[in-house]
């Protein structure tokens, strides 16, 4: 049971479809525009198991939205997650409640 009319549901569906279609088209255009670079990247990955940002810059150039701010070395703990001794053993408060 929805808190809105069938007409509103149809409008939502139409708008979502428009968004998905336009972004699909945009993704295809980006991939086609960068086809040569993607082929070079694929060849490089076949040669070497690991590539670095310098390798990507040589192929695609600098990112137009690059920032001068340094990226954090390691993210801190995720809010809402309980830290535990074992990695991958973290639980959210809701998961902790289920255990009780």
Dump pLDDT digits (tens) for 39-81. Answer: 999 999 999 989 999 999 999 998 877 677 776 676 666 666 5
Q: What is the mean pLDDT of the segment spanning 69-98?
A: 59
Q: Is residue 100 part of a domain?
A: no
Q: Which residues contact 82 (CB under 8 A, 6 or more apart)?
A: 90, 91, 92, 93, 96
Counting the structural domains of the chain, the total is 1
Residue 28 included in any domain: yes
| pLDDT given for residue 10 in this prediction | 96
Domain of 30 in residue numbering reads as 6-60
76 domain-assigned: no
| Res 65: pLDDT | 75
For residue 39, tell me if it sits in a domain.
yes
Lowest mean pLDDT among 20-24, 86-90, 96-100: 86-90
Checking 34-38 for CB contacts under 8 A at 24+ apart, the result is 34/60
Say if 25 falls within a structural domain. yes
pTM of the model: 0.53
Contact 58, 41 (CB under 8 A): no
Token pair 């902790």 is at which residue? Answer: 96
**pLDDT tens, position by position, 3-33:** 999 999 999 999 999 999 999 999 999 999 9
Q: Is residue 21 part of a domain?
A: yes
Helix (H, G, I), strand (E, B), or coil: what is residue 94? helix
The answer to whether position 38 is within a domain reads yes
- The closest alpha carbon to 41, from 67, 31, 23, 26, belongs to 31
Mean pLDDT, the chain, rounded, equals 82
Whether 91 is covered by a domain: the verdict is no
């Amino acid at each position: 049971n929805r808190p809105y009319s069938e007409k509103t549901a149809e409008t939502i569906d139409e708008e979502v479809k428009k968004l998905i279609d336009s972004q699909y088209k945009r993704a295809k255009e980006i991939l086609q525009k960068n086809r040569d670079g993607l082929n070079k990247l694929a060849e490089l990955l076949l040669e070497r198991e690991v590539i670095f940002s310098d390798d990507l810059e040589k192929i695609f150039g600098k990112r137009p939205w690059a920032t001068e701010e340094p990226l954090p070395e390691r993210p801190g703990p995720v809010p809402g997650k309980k830290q535990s001794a074992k990695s991958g053993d973290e639980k959210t408060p809701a998961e902790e409640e289920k255990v009780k």
